[in-house]
Amino acid sequence: METYPIQIGSVTRRVPLHEPFPGVRIPLVDFLGDVEFVRAVAQELLPKMPEDADLLVTCETSSIPLTHELASARELDYIVARKRRRPYMVDPIIQEVESLTLGAVEVLWLDRRYAEKILNKNVVLVMDVVASGGTMKALEKMVNRAGGRVIARLAGFHQGETDLEISTVAELPQL
């Protein structure tokens, strides 16, 4: 399998190249289970997080370890939007994702008990990789609908074009 090298500080990872569409290959970043890599990326993002942040919001799945590490470092709570409805959800906020890179329509679900924690909070959105920004925009709409204020958008990596202002650690190429 072909790989692509990513170096963050003293940590280097060779991530697999994935072909989501014919003729387009992208480095596949996955934070699940890689504590050292997650910590390295989080350390680079921490100075970019506003001091007045009250809460972090992300979505399943690979972004969760990064969000946890950032929240832990700043002693903040975080909320995870789900990618499918769970049986325990009561009156969830439902937000469709308009994303060019997913190749499929996706919906985010936020249980009302978590949405209530967002009300009147300064929220930082966190993602692993942002390409078109569709998922980040959906999260922002969800936070706004819950009565929160998005004060920053953080992502480990950026890939492609987006009209959003996002603080990232590094740019990933499309090969």
pTM: 0.91
* pLDDT > 60? residue 53: yes
* pLDDT > 70? residue 36: yes
**Rounded average pLDDT over 131-158:** 94
CA geometry: angle at 17 spanning 45 and 95, to 5°? Answer: 60
Q: Please report which confidence band the pLDDT of residue 99 belongs to, taking 50, 70 and 90 as the band edges.
A: low
**Rounded average pLDDT over 110-133:** 94
Q: In the chain, which residue ranges form alpha helices assigned H by DSSP?
A: 35-45, 63-74, 112-118, 134-145
Q: Please report, rounded to a whole number, the percentage of residues in the chain having pLDDT higher than 90.
A: 68
* Cα of 106 vs its chain's centroid, Å: 15
* pLDDT > 60? residue 100: no
More confident residue, 106 or 69: 69
Mean pLDDT score of the chain: 91
